[in-house]
Structure 1
């Protein structure tokens, strides 16, 4: 009986000849409800149910797009809200990147990332370890720089995107902690957190051994252990 079985006793359902697996069609004929009297005695509100009309010859799921096969993916694609593809999508969605980059408060991009005093202090420290000292704290300038390297798989490109993603994520987290938990961390603690996160992510990646890769990894205190790890795998 569907939802009815949740508030009608099983004994009452069986008493009138129905099964616990009975469906709506069993108590509806030509759009009229045929409620057993024992149910009405206990649940008079059933009399207020509006009439329905069932098509007994048709019982199927229909997608808005008839040209695709049914799947969870196609259903989600049909019902979700879609927006135009943004120009910086390749900066955020890459296999090596740290997930959950939260930049939902669109009006505060320029302020949070990274021009206000706290964020600027953090950014000025972490950008050094990604060889991006030449970049300002302007989000637009950072995005333009990363877009120019979005298709590259070089270690400098991957590292730059990791550092920006981690910085944005933890600065947003810091903003929420201050607003909702009244908890604040000094800039140097956040800098360390960002570096540790990026270092942990780098350790899981694989790079071809070149002079540039070696020097970059040495700056992150990996040394030859990094390539020994790769050889072991």
Structure 2
């Protein structure tokens, strides 16, 4: 059966899935439940290496969505729009207006972004040379593991940072205004403080106490 030209996206998707679900109904003598169909169709593919950066307890929905899109290289940076064949008068970064706005540049190579990320790392008592997008993502994938307070803060900080940079970029593009790095940092600190206020933290642990002090948690 050929797909109807005027069929909706949902119908086309369902029809394309026929071969995947045929074995569920062929030769069966009892009714199927939607639960059975769903469980059978679930992909058994291994998790991606970065899944713990995007999906974790305490995540902020709009923050993790932007990070997810960034990891998949789906954010419409000016360089990406140009690659897609869309005419762009100025492809340079909206923060520095010197280098083409690639994903790596806007998040970790532009001075505005680099100074913001460095300040966040300092609040976590981490000193390291900041490189490019792939390098920072690989570092985060490797290091942001476990359930310690520092790991949870780093995950929130990373997602909040990527969201914050992208929001400031859009504010500059569509509103002509950009906040200072310090203002953006304070906004990220406020977000994390609010999230941390609901956590049960062992303040007898000196490292936890130091983290809370740096982020302004009483």
Q: Could you tell me the TM-score, scaled by structure 1's length?
A: 0.57
Q: 1:114 to 1:163 in 2, by over 3 A?
A: same
Q: CA RMSD in A?
A: 3.1
5+ residue gaps, structure 2, are 1-13, 25-31, 81-101
The answer to whether the aligner puts 1:181 opposite 2:175 as a matched pair is: yes
Aligned to 1:70: 34
SS at match of 1:148: helix
Distance 1:186 1:165 in 2: 19
| Contact 1:110 1:138 (8 Å CA) reproduced | yes
Contact 1:113 1:137 survives alignment (8 Å): no
- The alignment status of 1:222 with 2:210, answered yes or no, reads no
Corresponding position of 1:132? 126
Q: Identify the range of structure 1 (210-219 vs 163-172) with the bigger mean alpha-carbon deviation.
A: 210-219
Shift of 1:85: 5.0
- Map Cα deviations across residues 145-186 of structure 1 (whole Å, 9 max, x no partner): 222234400011111111111110010011111112222212
Say whether the 8 Å CA contact 1:135–1:142 is kept in structure 2.
no
Q: 1:163 aligns with which of 125, 149, 157?
A: 157
Tell me which residue corresponds to 1:200: 194
SS, match of residue 184 in structure 1: coil
The alpha carbon displacement at 1:86 in A equals 3.5
Once the two structures are overlaid, the 10-residue window that deviates more, 208-217 or 99-108, is 99-108
Contact persistence 1:177–1:184 (CA under 8 A): yes
Equivalents in 2 of 1:147, 1:180: separation in Å?
32
With the length of structure 2 as denominator, give the TM-score of the two structures. 0.61
Work out which of the residue numbers 71, 80, 92 in structure 1 matches 2:54.
Answer: 92
1:116-151 Cα deviation digits (max 9, x unpaired): 122112112222112222241433332222222344
Change (3 A) 1:70 1:94: same
Structure 2 residue aligned with 1:145: 139
Contact 1:123–1:137 (CA under 8 A) maintained in structure 2: no
Cα contact 2:123–2:214 (8 A) shared by 1 = yes
Select which of 91, 104, 114 maps to 1:110: 104
Name the stretch that deviates more: 101-110 or 173-182.
101-110
Which has the higher relative contact order, 1 or 2, with Cα contacts under 8 A spaced 6 or more apart?
Answer: 2
In structure 2, C-alpha distance between the alignment counterparts of 1:117 and 1:220, rounded to whole Å: 23
